[in-house]
Structure 1
Amino acid sequence: MPDDLPGVRNSAENVSGQVVQVGVVHGDVHLGGLHADRLPLRVGVVPSRAASFQERAVGLADRVVLSGLGGVGKTQLAARHAETSWAAGEIRLLVWVSATSRDAITSAYADAAAKLTGQDGDARTFLEWLGNTSEPWLVVLDDVQAPADLNGLWPPAGGRVVVTTRRRDAALRGDRVLVDLDVFSPSEARAYLSAAIGADDDADRLADALGHLPLALAQAAAYVLDRRITCAEYLTRFTERRLAVMAPDELPDEHRATVAATWSLSVERADSMTPRGVARPLLDIASALDANGIPLDVFTSEPVLAFLGVDEADARDGLGCLHRLSLVTLDPDAREVRVHALLQRATRDAWTDASTVIRVAADALLEAWPDGDARTFRANAQALRAAGERWLWQDSCHPVLFRLGVGIASHEGEEAAAYFDELRRTAAGRLGPDHVDTLTARYLVVRTRDEPKNPRKAAEAYEELLANQLRTLGADHVRTLATRRSLWSCRGRTGDSATAAEALRGVLTDQLRVLGPDHHEVLATREDIVSLLRRAGDVASAADAAGVLLADSERVLGPDDPQTMLTRVVVADLHGERGDAVRAVAEYRALLADRIRVLADDHRAVWSSRRHLVHWLARAGDVLEARTECRRLLQDQVRVLGARHPDVRRTRELFLGLSE
């Protein structure tokens, strides 16, 4: 600067927006600044409405978090809500944010601030504008990956906010309503497929196979249309091929990923959460079992903990990670874990060691299996068979397959007989006719098919089986001793009960020597001896033996064990048969209270106890109370079973007998 020019000093304070610093000006200066867009204004791109979009009965509050498994339609529902609100004039500002990261959110907020103010701004500028305006607005934050991404970035009160996310973390709640979005209902899935591909008789089967998941239905419909095939043909391919192969050539409705890929990122994120590396193997175990409900105790069993290499607390936290990412649903009241069947399928497709997963799941199921009614466990064992039964047959049959059959037998004898016969054929083919598991399956076929209806035929079958067991297993094998017990029990039911009871005492002597006094087979033999003594008319000896057996059963099995309860039935009946009907009534009242506590009011064992109570009330001379109790029982059975059920017919006959 020449010495003769005056000095120049520039200063600028509290300036925002676009600034141009100019030195010496010779002429005009033109500044093209940002300009504020007027309302109504849309910022961001709202996803297009999916073809064959289905309206869903989901109400959205002013501040709502739509949570759910990837593919249930959260984004589409949010987009529909946004467009409907815009079209109705309910909002004058609509901001759609692809919220896949914190950087993406702040960038979108800055863009909105610039459009609203006409100046460069940042996230804070946008949030301040929202807090100060009286104009109605809606901000949609789509596909939030982590609650922490929204720290300090939640839109203020005064407007409407919709968040879509796979997360369920408590941090997402606050003053917001959390809506857990589920899959399509059967009717919604049917309507979707009808609109997408037209009428098809197998559309419902296709929807069921895909678990009514909207994303899967859309991609399946595209696959069907691309290849000009039917739903039945799709199902055949779906059964035979890996899920990834079943993707259409071009993804429909602006989908960014296939069904399997949609979930893979969620699984990775869950597995990276604390405790690290636990979520994925837990999902592996869950994918081998029943999608509709897996007992929580399975995941905290020793086999699973050993598989994971963690303690029970970490296993529960691992399930929590899966739940927070909507990959499973924890039901604390039912103590169950649910998982979508298609997610199970995708997980199984990615297994690298199916044998280990299947056998760990089987070991866990067996360890957690409770005594008594266990329908949930039976359903899980059946699902395990479907997921990989071949891995349950190696050098032997996995015990869970026998436990499943015993569980079936507790409710449906004929179904159990068919199941054990199938097991016998499989064992003979895989292990050979003389393998202990093949012989055990043969035994269980006779026990469930022949023994209940034709003890004479059962005795003949047991005799033939016993010869094979003596030859291959030896006289002291536990299964050989069990067959001897069942053989003499059947003979006692068809002939000289006293002689059969004496023969059973010989079996008991051998069992005590080989197995010890507390083995379940020893207790079973003692039960059979009581039954045969009672059949032979030696009620006093039967009652004495039953009383001692009951004390031992309560000590060994516990007072709530089903077998202990059955022994209490025998003890109560024997009191009545010895002439003490009043004592029998007292015993049944106590037994009934315990069965209701353990089983529930409408369990068949509870109804059986109520029928026995009615019988002994009448024998004790209290016919009026007997009729009252019988009428109540009849009403309960009709309510649950219907008027034509055989149990209802028997109870009605009992009531009519009391009326005479």
Structure 2
Amino acid sequence: MTSISVDFGNANLGSQVGINYGSIHLAPGRERSETPPPPLSNVPFRRDPDFVNRGTLLDQIYEKGTSPRARIALVGLGGVGKSQLAIECCYRIRDRSPSTWVLWVHASSLPRFEQSCRDIADRLKIPGRQNPEADVFKLLHDWLHDESKGKWVLVLDNVDDDRFLHRVPRTKQDGCESGRSYITERSIWAYFPESLKGSIFITSRSRQTVSRMVENSDIITVKPMDEAHTIVLFEKKLEANTPRKEIVQLIAALEFMPLAIVQAAAYIKKRAPRLSVPHYLETFRASDYRKISLLGYKGGSIRRDWKAKNSILITWQISFDYISQIRPTAAGLLSLINFFDTQKIPIALLQEGKKIKDGTESLPAIYTEEKHYNACQDEESGESSLFETFEDDILMLRDYSLITICPDNSNFEMHRLV
């Protein structure tokens, strides 16, 4: 038989076969070693040159978030600017400490969370990541806890529903039959324990959600901007001279919400000079239909996750849909509240389930209808169930910053734009 010779040149890597009368078995090749990258940031958004610092809020986030083993959460209504604050803080961290790794994870769902972790593993060139059966959470966990890597900051953006983080994932394991999956021993969140070298930032609309992940003392509530800072933001985004009085009226109508302000500025700027601030405000006040149309405008913010949407109306609809799914009675209560004025709504009025008439339409007394609750064995337990359900519904709406309790504790207020 003829002998076959293969020349690999100076890079003598592989197999050379002379005479062979049987099958050839090759051992799996080892993963090629890669040069690890220097400390980097994978924040998926450019820095906003129009960012407006809200007094000491950013300093508070920076100081609390960069302390050893920090875990902090930014909580507030959708569109209030949580992610924008996190983005700016990330850039500030890199400015002051270029040796710090800044890693951004889209955490709105399990598929996006896992994909973000895989993308980070690729950027960091973590060994073993190319194995299709590798547990990417374990790989990232080991990297984060390798003290030789230095300091790092991990941002989990839009953790509005954390249920997937506390479930035990199914992963493929080495040596197991192809195509079969096995349950690991710990939840995804258990892969991210405290580290002396790292900090975790979380953004969420739900205070209850983040309370399962960080200490209450480490939850920072992000509220709408004050008038002075909102004026500066609007003027930067509009890039046109406008009388201050007109701006004040518009931002007040928009309840000082950053996303709504940016939307309005983009809408006016795109249609100028045919549309001005007074014209926008007049249209906004004309009817609920026109108001909904303007609030539904998708534009102005390029520093938001595409899943989070640029429209403040859609942003809040996402919150409402989620509440409707997990607690229908809370969604029903919010719908009922919308029939009232948004300020100083008596809690007792809803708690007692009174029927309120507006013109010829009667509003449903949702807390007197037995079908909304589990059957009660007696009258006393039924009253207790109604009270607890009402309080839990109020808690959820407060948790999502959709309503606030007045200082007198007998009335509450709802955000006007909701």
Same fold (TM over 0.5): yes
Q: Offset of 1:173 from its aligned partner?
A: 3.1
Q: 1:253 aligns with which of 285, 301, 320?
A: 301
Per the alignment, do residues 249 and 323 of structure 1 end up closer, same or farther by CA in structure 2, a change over 3 Å counting?
A: closer
**Higher relative contact order (CA closer than 8 Å, sequence separation 6+):** 2
Q: Offset of 1:331 from its aligned partner?
A: 5.7
Instruction: Confirm or deny that 1:298 pairs with 2:349.
Output: yes
Q: Which position in structure 2 is the counterpart of 1:654?
A: none
Q: Distance in 1 between matches of 2:297 and 2:216?
A: 43
Q: 1:131 aligns with which of 116, 131, 145?
A: 145
Q: 1:238 aligns with which of 284, 301, 308?
A: 284
Per the alignment, do residues 249 and 325 of structure 1 end up closer, same or farther by CA in structure 2, a change over 3 Å counting?
A: closer
The CA deviation string for residues 373-394 of structure 1, in whole angstroms up to 9 with x for no partner, is xxxxxxxxxxxxxxxxxxxxxx
Q: Which position in structure 2 is the counterpart of 1:118?
A: 127
* CA root-mean-square deviation: 2.9
Q: Distance in 1 between matches of 2:34 and 2:216?
A: 35
| Unmatched segments (≥5 aa) in structure 1 | 1-21, 344-660
Instruction: Confirm or deny that 1:66 pairs with 2:74.
Output: yes
Contact 1:139-1:161 at 8 Å conserved across structures: yes
Contact 1:40-1:92 at 8 Å conserved across structures: yes
Per the alignment, do residues 180 and 292 of structure 1 end up closer, same or farther by CA in structure 2, a change over 3 Å counting?
A: farther
Contact 1:66-1:179 at 8 Å conserved across structures: yes
Q: Distance in 1 between matches of 2:259 and 2:249?
A: 16
Per the alignment, do residues 177 and 331 of structure 1 end up closer, same or farther by CA in structure 2, a change over 3 Å counting?
A: farther
Say which one has the larger Rg. 1
**AA matched with 1:49:** R
Q: Which position in structure 1 is the counterpart of 2:165?
A: 150
The CA deviation string for residues 349-407 of structure 1, in whole angstroms up to 9 with x for no partner, is xxxxxxxxxxxxxxxxxxxxxxxxxxxxxxxxxxxxxxxxxxxxxxxxxxxxxxxxxxx
Kindly report which structure 2 residues correspond to 1:283-294, keeping only aligned pairs within 5 A, or say none.
283-294=334-345
Secondary structure at 1:298 match in 2: helix
Q: Which position in structure 2 is the counterpart of 1:162?
A: 201
Q: 1:264 aligns with which of 317, 323, 336?
A: 317
Instruction: Confirm or deny that 1:280 pairs with 2:331.
Output: yes
Contact 1:69-1:166 at 8 Å conserved across structures: yes
Per the alignment, do residues 246 and 306 of structure 1 end up closer, same or farther by CA in structure 2, a change over 3 Å counting?
A: closer
Q: Which position in structure 2 is the counterpart of 1:389?
A: none
Contact 1:190-1:203 at 8 Å conserved across structures: yes
Contact 2:105-2:154 at 8 Å conserved across structures: yes
Identity over the aligned pairs, expressed in percent?
24
Q: Which position in structure 2 is the counterpart of 1:182?
A: 223
Per the alignment, do residues 90 and 293 of structure 1 end up closer, same or farther by CA in structure 2, a change over 3 Å counting?
A: farther
TM norm structure 2:
0.69
Contact 2:39-2:101 at 8 Å conserved across structures: yes
Q: Distance in 1 between matches of 2:140 and 2:295?
A: 41
Secondary structure at 1:95 match in 2: strand
Q: Distance in 2 between matches of 1:262 and 1:250?
A: 11
Q: Figure out how many residues of one structure are paired with residues of the other and give that number.
A: 319
Per the alignment, do residues 333 and 37 of structure 1 end up closer, same or farther by CA in structure 2, a change over 3 Å counting?
A: farther
Q: Which position in structure 2 is the counterpart of 1:195?
A: 236
Q: Offset of 1:66 from its aligned partner?
A: 0.2
Runs of 4+ in 1 over 6 A off after TM superposition: 27-32
Contact 1:36-1:117 at 8 Å conserved across structures: no
The CA deviation string for residues 121-162 of structure 1, in whole angstroms up to 9 with x for no partner, is 511221222123251100011111213333342452321111
Secondary structure at 1:140 match in 2: strand
Q: Distance in 2 between matches of 1:82 and 1:163?
A: 12
Q: Offset of 1:248 from its aligned partner?
A: 8.0
Secondary structure at 2:256 match in 1: coil
Q: Which position in structure 2 is the counterpart of 1:326?
A: 401
Higher strand share: 2
Q: Which position in structure 1 is the counterpart of 2:85?
A: 77
| Unmatched segments (≥5 aa) in structure 2 | 1-12, 19-25, 66-70, 167-187, 356-363, 373-385
Q: Which position in structure 2 is the counterpart of 1:104?
A: 112
Kindly report which structure 2 residues correspond to 1:83-482, keeping only aligned pairs within 5 A, or say none.
83-89=91-97, 91-114=99-122, 115-120=124-129, 121=134, 122-134=136-148, 135-151=150-166, 152-153=188-189, 154-158=192-196, 159-169=198-208, 170-174=211-215, 177-197=218-238, 198-201=240-243, 202-228=246-272, 229-241=275-287, 242=289, 243-246=291-294, 251-254=299-302, 255=304, 256-273=309-326, 276-303=327-354, 306-308=365-367, 309=369, 310=372, 311-330=386-405, 334-343=409-418
Q: Distance in 2 between matches of 1:64 and 1:192?
A: 26
Per the alignment, do residues 137 and 331 of structure 1 end up closer, same or farther by CA in structure 2, a change over 3 Å counting?
A: farther
**AA matched with 1:81:** C
